[in-house]
Chain A
Amino acid sequence: MRYIDLYFKLVAAGIRAQLQYRFAFFMRIVGMLTSYAGTAITMWVMLYQFQELGTWNFYEMLFLFAIAVLSWGFCIILFFHFRSLDTYILNGTFDRFLVRPINPFFHFMAMKFDVASFGQFIFSIFIFIWVSVELHIHWTIANVLFLLAAVIGGVLIQGGLLVIISAFAFWTTKSEQFYWVVMYPARNLTNYPLVIYPKMVQWFTAFVVPFGFVNYFPASVILGKETPYFPENIGYFSPLVGIVFFIIAYYIWMLGLSRYKSTGS
């Protein structure tokens, strides 16, 4: 309980800090909207002549993409701060998280609440409405609840990976590189239906870095698409996979923390 109260206090402070730079804040949102629209336009151009990408049409691909963008938006709000852990460690400013009487993981996470993900929300909600009309998706309460659960699962999976990547900094004092090798390509791969990739890659994104559960499996359930090599309705496991993956990530981070030696600078 104490932590929830504290979280909101820290978050409020963070938001106030970010709103000091209103123009920058606004431009970041515009920037994000442009880059997501850019990916959507690329998909449209790609399917202009071909109609289908591995049985997925343009609107189905948009839907798949929008789920990823929505959960990434929440993920930025909650966990993006972990990307800068290596800078804190290098500069020696990480030590201050250790001298306070709260859990350092929690404290570090609550330090920054990145509100600039409005871009992601505007984009994904617009796409959801557009695609629902085009594909006549019938939104039942069960469907909506499932989508919400899947998004929570997606946030935990992507957040978990951010946490694991940041934990590398405890051993190597570097983690930014890992972000660009692991997270960035993984997010790009999953913008497209996994069915098009070689079987090994599909297995990898299902069971090693479980990004398949962020959008591909849940979208397949809602749109009734087939998922070759995987059991039907595997998408229902998204929230569970998210929780398990995040717990693993948390323990890796804590393990790293126990190994942490200050750089002292």
Chain B
Amino acid sequence: MFNYRLYWTFAKKSFLRSAVYRFDVWSRLGSNVIFLLMWGSIWTALYAGREEAGGVSFQAMLTYIVVSQFLSGVNGAGTPLWEIQEKVRTGDISLELMRPFDVPLRYLFADFGSVFFYMITALLPLYIILFFFMDLSLPNDPLIWLAFSFAAFIGFLIRYCIEMAFGLLTFFLVETGGVEDIFYFAMSLLSGSVIPLWFFPGWLASFASYLPFQGIYYIPNAIFIGEIAGYQILTSIGVQLFWVVVTYIFLRLVWNKASQKVVVQGG
């Protein structure tokens, strides 16, 4: 059935490949830090010296942004969308279709490898230092850490399924310009990556709560700073699990359609 050894090899290979492109790691980390600086400054200016706003302390809000920036580093370290689109456009993807593995899973495991490399060599050292030097609020309960890690992982899977499905739309649309920008916008705003959902206007917050994007950043971040607490943690993770199933089915549907289309065209 599921060939662990095969997919494990993809993860390992892409881990090793990341080690070769070390300059990539540094440049990615550099721009991650700049965006952290930007959003940190923006939230500092928005609070304008107030201790709390909307029932959330400044310290918790700053922690939210730092954690969010960490997760966006994690989410951004996989195969970029344009690389998959380029493979579709140039027809290279047909070579992968001929091989005895499942393409969406193969990329997922390759992402595990490169993300893991980026995490241990760059992200974790940087953010551990940040947590020491900045005045941030860390959860005391190890269970919260566990819930956060799990939620962050599910969020990663949701993001992967949505992004991959969008990448595969290239099979149907030659030019994905407009669609892609809507996707990026939804990813950045509706996921709560830079503005938590509780600061949204009411109607927009409820709109976002019916969409999968909140599972990527908002839920893990809010669990980390304790805005989602107690039994709410379980319901939130339940929502995430629901969305990971839905987005995975969506990805499968798009993939089946797309791969058939290639066969029809003769590759």
Contacts and interface: CB of A to CB of B under 8 A. Distances in A.
Q: Note whether A and B form a binding pair.
A: yes
B52 interface: no
Contacts of B34: 185, 188-189
Nearest to A195: B45
Contacts of A196: 41-42, 44-45
B199 A49 contact: yes
Interface stretch (A22-30, A216-224, A244-252): A22-30
Nearest to B34: A185
Given A34-B178, A188-B38, A49 B27 contact: no
A31 B184 CA distance: 11
B175 A27 contact: yes
A177 B178 contact: no
A189 B195 CA distance: 16
A46 interface: yes
Q: Which 9 A-B pairs have the closest CB atoms?
A: A31-B177, A38-B185, A196-B45, A185-B34, A30-B178, A27-B177, A34-B181, A27-B175, A54-B45
Contacts of B35: 185, 188
Contacts, number: 100
B44 A45 contact: no
A45 B199 CA distance: 8
Interface in A18-50: 23-24, 27-28, 30-32, 34-35, 37-38, 41-42, 45-46, 48-50
Contacts of A30: 177-178, 181
A139 interface: no
A45 B46 CA distance: 12
Contacts of A38: 181, 184-185, 188-189
Contact of B189 (A28, A41, A52, A177): A41
A30 B188 CA distance: 19
A23 B173 CA distance: 11
B27 A181 contact: yes
Nearest to A53: B45
26 contacts: A24-B174, A24-B177, A27-B178, A28-B175, A35-B184, A38-B181, A38-B184, A38-B188, A42-B188, A42-B189, A45-B189, A45-B195, A45-B200, A46-B195, A49-B54, A50-B46, A54-B48, A177-B23, A177-B24, A177-B27, A180-B31, A181-B31, A185-B30, A197-B37, A197-B38, A197-B41
Contacts of A188: 34-35, 38
Given A31-B178, A31-B180, A177-B24, 12 more contacts: A23-B174, A35-B185, A38-B189, A50-B48, A54-B45, A54-B48, A177-B27, A181-B30, A181-B31, A185-B31, A195-B45, A197-B38
A184 interface: yes
Nearest to A36: B181
A198 interface: yes
Interface of A: 23-24, 27-28, 30-32, 34-35, 37-38, 41-42, 45-46, 48-50, 52-54, 177-178, 180-181, 184-185, 188-189, 192, 195-198, 201
B182 interface: yes
A184 B31 CA distance: 8
Interface in B73-111: none
B204 interface: yes
Contacts of A53: 42, 45-46
A27 B31 CA distance: 28
A24 B195 CA distance: 33
Contacts of B188: 38, 42
Contacts of B189: 38, 41-42, 45
Contacts of B30: 181, 185
A142 B144 CA distance: 60
